[in-house]
Amino acid sequence: VPQHVWRINLDTPEEAHQNLSFGAADRWWEQTDLTKLILASNKLQCLSEDVKLLPALTVLDVHDNQLTSLPSALGQLENLQKLDVSHNKLKSIPEELLQLSHLKSLLLHHNELSRLPDGFGQLVNLEELDVSNNQLTDIPTSFALLINLVRLNLACNQLKNLPADISAMRSLKQLDCTKNYLETVPSKLATMASLEQLYLRKNKLRSLPEFPSCKLLKELHAGENQIEILNAENLKHLNSLSVLELRDNKIKSVPDEITLLQKLERLDLTNNDISRLPYTLGNLPHLKFLALEGNPLRTIRRDLLQKGTQELLKYLRSKIQDDVTNPSGEPPVTAMTLPSESRINMHAITTLKLLEYSEKQAAVVPEEMFDAVRSHPVTTVNFSKNQLSEIPPRIAELKDSVCDVNLGFNKISSVSLELCLLRKLTHLDLRNNFLTSLPEEMEALTGLQVINLAFNRFKAFPSVLYRILALETILLGNNQVGSIDPLQLKGMDRLGTLDLQNNDLLQVPPELGNCESLRTLLLEGNPFRTPRAAVLARGTAAVLEYLRSRIPT
């Protein structure tokens, strides 16, 4: 570092010698001291003790250099709030550093530190500490004094245990212990009431700790360990949890208490030894991502796993029905049951948020079904396998809550405008009906992700679908569709699955190859000549590549 950098507060700058007209008010170098010094990404091998000539520094950033040690004079920078010495070759930290009582952020990651000074707890104002990617084998017990620490990163070290005292860090929100050698987690960790994110991935844990006080914990990442048992006790207090990541462990079963995690959005159980799941998992109201690949599941077929989270949850919910209704399929009539409600499963409506009237071969849905809903918010409607010739108009009454509607296997010949009012709809099943077109008003269903129109009478690809940009899956197999518009399809950047099997496509436009979001494109059973069956058999990526090669340049 050039000497005049260290002396910037002391020496008169060059321009002052050249321009003698500077008045007292213009003499900035006499009025303000340097507060930030950034020397990052150079080739510094040492820092001069002259750093003490800059006592007003609040930020010193020397990350990404070749420093092997730090000057003891750092301890005199009493105003320093942020010190970044990451990505260097430091083997130790000078004791004097512990005098920096105003330090809020200390970044020491990616160095060669094997220990930290015992008095580390003196840095009581520290809010962020990153010592990841070093060679630490233990943590000083004085860490317990860092009661203002909000983020602590200990990842990628050689820690075999954590001191129980760190539970005294009452402000800690984020603790990252990824990739160490931890076999247990101190039970006292469970008392850390502020903790929101806990990373324990890639350790040697055999079980999860219990978390009675971690009421705010939102994310728990414990993949790539050796966890065999998931207990109800591990889960039941975690009412705020939205992410639970347990992939690559040895978990054999999932307790029913998982349904207590009402705020859960992501559950990753990939590559475990799970053979069965509680069906009630399907009722978790916010679950958006459920990963189960690589488990010996007996009750769930492989192809169902590949259809994605919503289909999986739908399946699990359908199995609850089998569990709760008695063998005759009708809820028992009790003295409290009104005659008109005797065939209405109120349990399904109130607990499962499911309105079901299916497999009755009925021409209409009885009014009392809709009356029974009253103020209960229903999310799923199943009127499949009846003789309905139109969509029940009262379905519009459910517009504030319903997101999944199944009207498959009926005799419906047109989609009513009432259906277009269901603004929260994400899944719509209309397979095996008599539909020939869809109304343009369906454009209002902006959240629709999955639509099943298989086994209907469409002669053209319904143009309104091109304008529902949230669509991820379109199933149009077994119709009479004669053509598709690849340019409009390309604009549907979330579309991952398009099934056009057994239609009347005489040709496949090469530009379809530009629809890069497509993961599954099914075209078998159409009268076109190219691509040939051998290309189709190689899978979607090969078909898209083939089509791209045919685009005229």
Last residue of a domain, one of 106, 124, 158: 158
Tell me if 58 is assigned to some domain: yes
Contact 158, 136 (CB under 8 A): yes
Amino acid letter, 269: L
| Domain membership flag for residue 164 | no
Q: Which residues does residue 107 pair with via DSSP β-bridges, in sequence order?
A: 84, 130
Q: Are residues 392 and 536 in the same domain?
A: yes
The pLDDT of residue 333 is 35
The two structure tokens encoding residue 84: 């970044």
Among 101, 125, 158, the domain-final residue is 158
Residue 233 and residue 295: Cα distance in Å, rounded? 23
pLDDT at 317: 86
The CA distances from residue 7 to 19, 77, 162, in Å, are 21, 15, 44
**Which residues on neighbouring strands pair with residue 61, listed in sequence order?**
38, 84
Q: Is residue 334 part of a domain?
A: no
Residues 378 and 466 in one domain: yes
Residue 152 and residue 118 share a domain: yes
Looking at residue 305, its pLDDT comes to 79
Instruction: Please check whether residue 193 lies inside any domain of the structure.
Output: yes
Q: Is residue 166 part of a domain?
A: no
Domain boundary among 108, 123, 158: 158
| Sign of the four-CA dihedral 497, 297, 182, 184 | positive
On whether both 469 and 411 belong to a single domain, the answer is: yes
Check whether residue 310 and residue 247 sit in a common domain.
yes
Residues 369, 290: one domain? no
pLDDT given for residue 342 in this prediction? 41
Same domain, 369 and 484: yes
Q: What is the strand order of the sheet 243-245 is part of?
A: 36-38, 59-61, 82-84, 105-107, 128-130, 151-153, 174-176, 197-199, 219-221, 243-245, 266-268, 289-291
Provide the 3-class DSSP secondary structure of residue 174.
strand
Q: In this structure, are 407 and 511 located in the same domain?
A: yes
Same structural domain, 82 and 189: no
pTM of the model: 0.59
Query: Which CATH number do you get for residue 11?
Result: 3.80.10.10
201 part of a folded domain: yes
Residue 446: domain span:
346-549
What is the mean pLDDT, run by run of 10 residues, along the chain of 553 residues? 89 66 60 89 95 95 96 96 97 95 97 94 96 95 92 96 88 95 86 91 89 84 92 81 95 88 94 88 90 85 82 86 44 36 69 87 90 87 94 93 94 94 95 95 95 95 96 95 94 94 93 92 91 89 93 86
Tell whether 45 is covered by a domain: yes
Look at residue 359 in the predicted model and tell me its pLDDT.
Answer: 86
Q: What is the pLDDT of residue 23?
A: 61
Q: Are residues 149 and 186 in the same domain?
A: no
pLDDT at 352: 82
Q: How many structural domains comprise the chain?
A: 3
- Is residue 467 located within the same domain as residue 512? yes
Domain co-membership, 100 together with 203: no
- Residue 119 included in any domain: yes
